[in-house]
């Protein structure tokens, strides 16, 4: 859904996500690394109307520090990554 593989069309992504819900595709996997968090923006717009119909999974571990991408499993990073993702998704639980 992000522009990692080419130009992203948010309206088209929202249509796809709504259709996925209609078809019963309710396990949505995301990560803060996808579009550097931008992948979660179209998800948030669809979740406003379909929150109880989707189960959200998210991944984290990669962070950018001093221009380098690093891996972190520090508890404070894990907590912050989850909070940031919840905020971007516009939800309060996964």
Active site residue 93: no
Catalytic residue among 5, 34, 93, 94: 34
Round to whole Å and give the CA distance between 68 and 61: 13
Q: Give 46-70 as a DSSP string.
A: HHHHHGGG-EEEEE--EEEETTEEE
Q: Which residues are catalytic?
A: 34
């Amino acid at each position: 859904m992000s522009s990692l593989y080419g130009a992203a069309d948010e309206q088209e992504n929202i249509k796809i996500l709504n259709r996925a819900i209609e078809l019963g595709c309710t396990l949505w996997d995301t990560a803060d690394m996808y579009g550097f968090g931008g992948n979660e923006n179209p998800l948030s717009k669809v979740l406003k109307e379909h929150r109880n119909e989707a189960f959200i999974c998210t991944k984290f571990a990669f962070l950018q520090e001093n221009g380098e991408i690093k891996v972190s499993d520090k508890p404070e990073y894990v907590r912050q990554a989850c909070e940031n993702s919840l905020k971007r998704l516009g939800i309060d639980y996964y």
